[in-house]
Amino acid sequence: MKTIKFYEKLLNEIDADIEIVIVVNKNFDQRFSDAEKELLEEAGFVGEQDETCLLAEKRKIFVGADSIKSADIRSAAANAVRALEGKGYKIAKMGSYMSHPTCTATLRAQAEGLLLGGYRFDRYKSKKSDKHLHKVRISLEEYNGYALDIPAAQRAIDKGIVSAEATNFVRDIVNTAPDDCTPETMVQIARELADKEVHLNVEVLDTKAMKKEGMNALLAVARASRHEPRLIHLSYIPKEKPVATVSLVGKGLTYDSGGLSLKPADYMVTMKADKSGGSAVLGILKAVAELHLPIEVHGFIGAVENMIGGDAYKPDDVLKAKNGKTIEVRNTDAEGRLVLADVLCYAQEKVKADYLFDFATLTGACVVGVGQYTSGVMGFAAEPTNRVLYAANTLAGEMATKLDFNRFLRKTLKSEIADICNISNTRYGGAITAGMFLGEFIDEEHKEKWAHIDIAGPAFVEHPWGENPHGASGAGVRMMTRLLEKLARGDAHK
Ligand code: BES
Ligand code: ZN
Ligand code: ZN
């Protein structure tokens, strides 16, 4: 599904092949659904969240939502669109949904859901089906009968389109096979973004430049790959005076084989998704530029492939990171933190930011701890962490939870021969010890400004869930876009 458009028209004035109706809180006695109430009952449709029922003869598809809150409407809209895939309908229409006469949050979520649910990844299919829904037309006819403020409705839909398209853009990158998305491909993608947007600029460091910067930890991880590593610095400088400066750091492992501490076969599959953090940073910058936010945003992506070979880095190696700290390598599969250590140091040296966030598919332990659908958020200070949690859970409809650091877990990273070890001496608390490792590379100036977001679970799931398809979800994009929008408005965190 490609486009959605808002029409200042009533539903019956809009042409379409099919109409989408969201049944909210199992209430069928409502203007959009009362005429079909009996037919729906006969079909066994009860209106559970995301349950769909196509009444082809009525040219309507019904989908359940538990409430008119954003998260439920986003997911319902996505599932309706997904249920129409391959059925041959080209154009759909639907009413608009608002939780309150003056609050357009649900309408934005509705727009997001339609585009997120319409996502398809068919790059590698030799036969591409053409039975796709192309458009959804949204009417000003509102579910509760509210009279819409037209410009406000249009703005909400436009913002929804930007954040959903940025999410789908990231899904495409992450789903791309590892041999078709190398560090250099990530550079090309960043350059294309910068070519399109006047306020985006890109700077790239190659191996030689990174050697000069002393980024030996990142370079060690990259050494056995035939694809050279890249550090991508994509920056957005708004035309007005920025209200804040934010740095975003992303783990861009275009493949993680585990290195010499090789992953077992079953665990290696899906490791093309280890570039999800870096890809999310690209998507966030795309959204920020399109929204023209008055914030300066710097994205730093460590694009690297972790492979094996005669020149691979080894367990027992000792690496000196950019900030001079020495790291004893005890497992080459804990490579993300090595790459991020150097990129975090570089980012902090380059830009003195008001906030520093990093996104990484960092640990399997995070997935074990909080489940596949939720990100783990960590840091030294509550404020940046709470901002992320609020933006994710309350605004964006992404799930995130806080994981606390503690001084006892910090001790498990001690090395006998170097300053720190790249793995902990206990298998417990692996997401937190990885986060605390990163914390060793945060300077005094940024300690209170940093949050680390482990997206290892939600970034890539091999089945559809909510508004997310099989595969890459684009985790991190919507939460950070909402956080930055809120920051741009100058809102203090509640
Ligand atoms: N990229 C993986 C983490 C991962 C696992 C992401 C599952 C997505 C799904 C990371 O580089 C890794 O391999 N981490 C190790 C760390 C361990 C060696 C301390 C892990 O989680 O097993
Ligand atoms: Zn790994
Ligand atoms: Zn990894």
Ligand with an atom nearest the CA of residue 251 = 3
% residues pLDDT > 70 (the chain): 100
Ligand 2 midpoint to CA 467 (Å): 28
316 burial level (CB within 10 Å; 0-12, 13-18, 19+): exposed
Tokens of 185: 């491909």
pLDDT for 129: 83
The reply to whether 263 belongs to the active site is yes
Q: What is the mean pLDDT of residues 69-96?
A: 97
**Quick one: which of 462, 457, 481 has its CA closest to 175?**
462
What CA–CA distance (Å, rounded) separates 462 from 309?
A: 30
Residue of 337, 449, 478, 482 marked active site = 337
Ligand 1 contacts (CB < 6 A) are 256, 274, 331, 333-336, 361, 363-365, 367, 423, 430, 456
**Quick one: which of 302, 194, 319 has its CA closest to 248?**
302
Q: What is the mean pLDDT of residues 50-65?
A: 98
Structure confidence by residue, pLDDT tens digits, 469-489? 999 999 999 999 999 999 999
What CA–CA distance (Å, rounded) separates 22 from 83?
A: 13
On average, the pLDDT of the chain sits at: 97
Which atom of ligand 1 lies nearest, measured to the CA of 423?
19
Ligand with an atom nearest the CA of residue 366 = 1
Structure confidence by residue, pLDDT tens digits, 7-29? 999 999 999 999 999 999 999 99
Structure confidence by residue, pLDDT tens digits, 209-226? 999 999 999 999 999 999
pLDDT for 209: 98
Structure confidence by residue, pLDDT tens digits, 178-208? 999 999 999 999 999 999 999 999 999 999 9
Residue of 333, 339, 454 with the most ligand 1 atoms within 8 Å of its CB, for mutation: 333
pLDDT for 84: 97
pLDDT for 492: 78
pLDDT for 392: 98
* Residue bearing the CA closest to ligand 1, atom 16: 334
pLDDT for 281: 99
**Quick one: which of 98, 141, 106, 203 has its CA closest to 10?**
141
pTM of the entire predicted model: 0.98
CB 420 within 8 A of CB 409: no
* Residue bearing the CA closest to ligand 1, atom 13: 333
Ligand 1 midpoint to CA 270 (Å): 12
Ligand 2 midpoint to CA 163 (Å): 29
Ligand 3 midpoint to CA 454 (Å): 11
Q: What is the mean pLDDT of residues 229-250?
A: 98
The reply to whether 9 belongs to the active site is no
Ligand 3 midpoint to CA 268 (Å): 10
Residue of 363, 375, 413 with the most ligand 1 atoms within 8 Å of its CB, for mutation: 363
Residue of 362, 372, 455 with the most ligand 1 atoms within 8 Å of its CB, for mutation: 362
Structure confidence by residue, pLDDT tens digits, 118-143? 999 999 999 988 889 999 999 999 99
pLDDT for 128: 87
Which atom of ligand 1 lies nearest, measured to the CA of 335?
11
Residue of 9, 263, 330, 402 marked active site = 263
Which atom of ligand 1 lies nearest, measured to the CA of 263?
13
CB 328 within 8 A of CB 414: no
Ligand with an atom nearest the CA of residue 304 = 3
Whether pLDDT at 494 is above 60: no
Structure confidence by residue, pLDDT tens digits, 404-443? 999 999 999 999 999 999 999 999 999 999 999 999 999 9
Ligand 3 midpoint to CA 148 (Å): 47
Structure confidence by residue, pLDDT tens digits, 260-316? 999 999 999 999 999 999 999 999 999 999 999 999 999 999 999 999 999 999 999
What CA–CA distance (Å, rounded) separates 67 from 99?
A: 9
